[in-house]
Structure 1
Amino acid sequence: MLARIWALVIKEFLALLRDKKSRFVIIGPPLIQLLVFGYAATFDLNHIPYAVFNQDSGFASRQLLAEFQGSSAFQQVATIENAGQIAPLINQEKALLVLQIGPDFTSDLLLHRPTRVQVIVDGRNSNTATLALNYVNSVLLRFDLRWANAQHWGHPPAQLLMRSWFNPNLLSRWFIVPGIVALLVLVVTLLVTGLSVAREREQGTFDQLLVTPLRPLEILVGKALPGLVIGAVEGLFIVLVAIFWFQVPFVGSMLALVAGLSLFLLAAVGIGLMISSLAVTQQQGLLGVFIFLVPAIILSGFATPIANMPVAVQYLTYLNPMRYFLIIVRGVFLEGDNMVMLWPQYWPLAIIALGSMAASSWLFRHRMQ
């Protein structure tokens, strides 16, 4: 029995090594994924963009701000003159957090009265917001200890007042569950379409399909529709589960979500058909799906912020349809976005969908010859 198993193992290795495409699947993608994971997958926060709203002219507030300016984890991007400037910075994601120091900060400290520093943080990504608040807390604690030692206080003088927008309690479920909509829709759609043509070839029925009255375009559409329908049903089901089971707030437009889901499905179906047109067997189709799927998830901002990735990798993310749909689904769930607000995400997604569908059509025709 062991001899037969060993012979089968040798046969499988020989079959893989003799096939040029199989050799590429074994050697190329692992190297690419190693580079992607090594540079892009990080949970460290560097150069956190923050804005300062300092209403105090005393030296204590300047000392506190110097602590932030001297930290490598923070990068000041704006100085706010009035409270009306806070919302645009957070809403447009120009600043992750805003430090607001009251007008009586220095005088309260000199009079040995407790005082407060307010931190307004963007809570859309709860993991990033929590890490940023921990960094802020450490800087403020360092300032408290230095001030208490210098002024001979018996306890830290300042108190941290935190307020998170869009996700008041920083529940990670509110951030992760909407992202699962994009993740599972992509997985299901790619698997359905990525194996369709390859399955026909492997079972020997593809040639029979070609001699039918169906034209190539009709065959391609017939292969695409099941993926679109299954992906749409899967996506809408997950949305309902997120709202009614996980109690994630849905404050945006359902029409905006449906429009984004439709464009995302077209892009995913186009990519799946490209993979299926290139694959000869279902095994190659499955490998092709996962070769695309894993980097697409990493480079989408699903778990790690795109802003923390190297600049070259950030440019690469613009080719990833999941990047845009994540912004759409999270914006609709947590921020109350509508179609007008999400237009900057729609048009790149539409271009990717059009390009992938055109490329899959060309590959399908080319592989038939």
Structure 2
Amino acid sequence: MWWTRLRALIVKELLAVLRDPKGRIVLIAPPIIQLVVFSYAATLEVRNVDIMVLNRDAGRWGYELVQRIEGSPTFRKVSFTNSPDVLHEAIDRQTVIAAVQISPTFSRDVEAKQSTDVQIILDGRRSNASQIVGGYLNQIVAGLSTDTPAGQKNASKTVTVMPRNWFNPNLIYQWFMVPNLIGSIALLIGLIVTALSIARERELGTFDQLMVSPLRTHEILLGKLLPPMMIGLVHITIYILAALLVFGIPLRGSIGLLYGSSIFFMASIVGLGLFISALSTTQQQAILGAFLVLVPAMLLSGFATPIENMPEWLQPVTYINPLRYFLVIVRGVFLKDIPTGEVVSLTVPLALIAVVTLGMAAWLFRAKLE
């Protein structure tokens, strides 16, 4: 029976991965490392930074501004200097990321209800962190401005902004990062395991034995397709459990929709991995080919930077990236309770990509046999 032959090949593929020490490392080490690094270390939040203050004002408001800066939990160390040269050197040597200069007439201008300035010098070499730190300092100065005589006088005329964050009220960074890891880890594991599949057979000399076996071509393809999908779904399950039990991320949507889309996502990834494996003659070539696809797929998925911020000529390339669609589904299921219609509309491109990649892999596989 075809099912008996297919089951034997699936068991053989799983054992080939699990019994190989290198294969076990690929399955275990990268997921753990990425979970720790991305969840805790790779954050866009800027905290525990050092700044320097040059306060030339001896009045009340200059002292008040310094106290508010020192009291901010964002800044780890606030150092002081009376020399502009020392301040500039601290920025040059990256001892501090920002410096604040308070003019000698700051308090006097505030009491006189005149406009006055606070100079903030930022290290442009760390552009993202500098912009965020600059925003923190601007908030502190703006808060002080509302407490000044001029600010209190105009308080009734000002508009108060009351921010409210939907889906992630406390702006916990892990709520954004861990759902993204579900897709990225599945991409990593599925791509590498599948890319090594046929290349390993060729390198070990067992590919010819597989060809003369009773297995048909489509059965061999299915046997190479299903084990990586099963392994990928296991990793997705582990990360879902970690998101719920370790990080306390809410699951507001349907877990059934998430797993349904995961099947098409893994099919598209495995098809691409089989295509790479069919092109490769050694496992080294397969690994290099997998990483050649993996890095651009991560960068063009919206994982780290929004797709809308990319150049217009590059944005159409993201439409052939399955990770782009799956990340939207994962974040939506966890944080938003994404509607079924939207999940389906995002799953259709995954299905089309799966059909194309699996078709290309099957064509190349048959071409190699002839």
Does TM-score exceed 0.5, indicating one fold?
yes
User: Judging changes above 3 Å, is the alpha-carbon distance between structure 1 residues 143 and 242 closer, same or farther for their aligned structure 2 residues?
Assistant: closer
Instruction: Specify the alignment match of 1:167 in structure 2.
Output: 168
Instruction: Specify the alignment match of 1:298 in structure 2.
Output: 299
How many angstroms apart in 1 are the aligned matches of 2:140 and 2:265?
Answer: 43
User: Judging changes above 3 Å, is the alpha-carbon distance between structure 1 residues 155 and 227 closer, same or farther for their aligned structure 2 residues?
Assistant: farther
**Alpha-carbon offset, residue 290 of structure 1:** 0.5
Structure with the greater alpha carbon radius of gyration: 2
Instruction: Specify the alignment match of 1:209 in structure 2.
Output: 210
Asked whether the equivalents of residues 179 and 326 of structure 1 are also in contact (C-alpha less than 8 Å), the reply is: yes
Instruction: Specify the alignment match of 1:329 in structure 2.
Output: 330
How many angstroms apart in 2 are the aligned matches of 1:268 and 1:148?
Answer: 57
**Alpha-carbon offset, residue 248 of structure 1:** 0.5
TM-score scaled to structure 2, two decimals?
A: 0.60
**Alpha-carbon offset, residue 148 of structure 1:** 9.3
**Alpha-carbon offset, residue 192 of structure 1:** 1.2
Instruction: Specify the alignment match of 2:347 in structure 1.
Output: 346
- Written as runs of structure 1 = structure 2, the 5 A alignment for 1:29-48 is none
How many angstroms apart in 1 are the aligned matches of 2:289 and 2:272?
Answer: 10
User: Judging changes above 3 Å, is the alpha-carbon distance between structure 1 residues 313 and 136 closer, same or farther for their aligned structure 2 residues?
Assistant: farther
**Alpha-carbon offset, residue 155 of structure 1:** 8.2
**Alpha-carbon offset, residue 134 of structure 1:** 7.9
Aligned residues: 240
Instruction: Specify the alignment match of 1:261 in structure 2.
Output: 262
**Alpha-carbon offset, residue 306 of structure 1:** 0.8
Structure 2 gaps of 5+ residues are 1-43, 45-127
Instruction: Specify the alignment match of 1:176 in structure 2.
Output: 177
Asked whether the equivalents of residues 264 and 321 of structure 1 are also in contact (C-alpha less than 8 Å), the reply is: yes
Per-residue CA deviation, residues 91-119 of structure 1 (Å, 9 max, x unaligned), is: xxxxxxxxxxxxxxxxxxxxxxxxxxxxx
Name the SS for the 2:326 alignment partner: helix
**Alpha-carbon offset, residue 318 of structure 1:** 0.5
Name the SS for the 2:215 alignment partner: coil
**Alpha-carbon offset, residue 211 of structure 1:** 1.1
Name the SS for the 1:163 alignment partner: coil
Query: Are 1:270 and 2:259 matched, yes or no?
Result: no
Letter in 2 for 1:301: G
Letter in 1 for 2:301: S
Structure 1 gaps of 5+ residues are 1-42, 44-127
- Written as runs of structure 1 = structure 2, the 5 A alignment for 1:42-121 is none
**Alpha-carbon offset, residue 358 of structure 1:** 0.6
Instruction: Specify the alignment match of 1:285 in structure 2.
Output: 286
How many angstroms apart in 1 are the aligned matches of 2:132 and 2:358?
Answer: 41
Asked whether the equivalents of residues 193 and 273 of structure 1 are also in contact (C-alpha less than 8 Å), the reply is: yes
Instruction: Specify the alignment match of 2:190 in structure 1.
Output: 189
Segment of structure 1 superposing worse, 132-141 or 222-231: 132-141
Letter in 1 for 2:205: G
User: Judging changes above 3 Å, is the alpha-carbon distance between structure 1 residues 143 and 315 closer, same or farther for their aligned structure 2 residues?
Assistant: farther
How many angstroms apart in 2 are the aligned matches of 1:154 and 1:133?
Answer: 26
How many angstroms apart in 2 are the aligned matches of 1:205 and 1:267?
Answer: 26
Name the SS for the 1:342 alignment partner: helix
Asked whether the equivalents of residues 148 and 155 of structure 1 are also in contact (C-alpha less than 8 Å), the reply is: no
How many angstroms apart in 2 are the aligned matches of 1:254 and 1:153?
Answer: 51
CA RMSD, Structure 1 to Structure 2 (Å): 2.9
**Alpha-carbon offset, residue 156 of structure 1:** 8.1
